[in-house]
Amino acid sequence: MLVETDRMIPVTKLQKELTKRVRDISEGGSPLFILKNNEMEAVILAPAEYEYLVNLSELIEQYEINDVIVKRMKNYKRSKNVKWNDLRI
């Protein structure tokens, strides 16, 4: 993942500039990458971008479920079904 260095900020500097940085992000700015001890610690996103990523993740999950169903249906044989009454005791 490539991150623009101007979008990275140490957590100590963020503490001083939090209000301004949050305003910038909410007005359509890029995500802000928070560093702690020069390591990526967190990311601040605009709500719309976060919602987009959550929806995208759910869509990918649905595609994965669909792939599993398609693979299982290839081996499905109706003649091997067990009747409900045969399962009950």
Cβ contacts of 44 within 8 Å, gap of 6 or more: 21, 22, 25, 31, 32, 34
What pLDDT is recorded for position 70? 95
Q: Is this model's pTM higher than 0.75 or not?
A: no
Burial of 32 (0-12, 13-18, 19+ CB in 10 A): buried
In whole angstroms, give the CA distance from residue 80 to residue 19: 64
Tens-digit pLDDT profile for residues 31-76: 999 999 999 999 999 999 999 999 999 999 999 999 999 999 998 8
What mean pLDDT is predicted for residues 8-37? 91
The span from the CA of 69 to the CA of 47, in Å, is 33
Greater pLDDT, 3 or 68: 68
pLDDT of residue 4: 77
Task: Give the bridge partners for 40, in sequence order.
Answer: 35
pLDDT band at 89 (very low <50, low <70, confident <90, very high): low
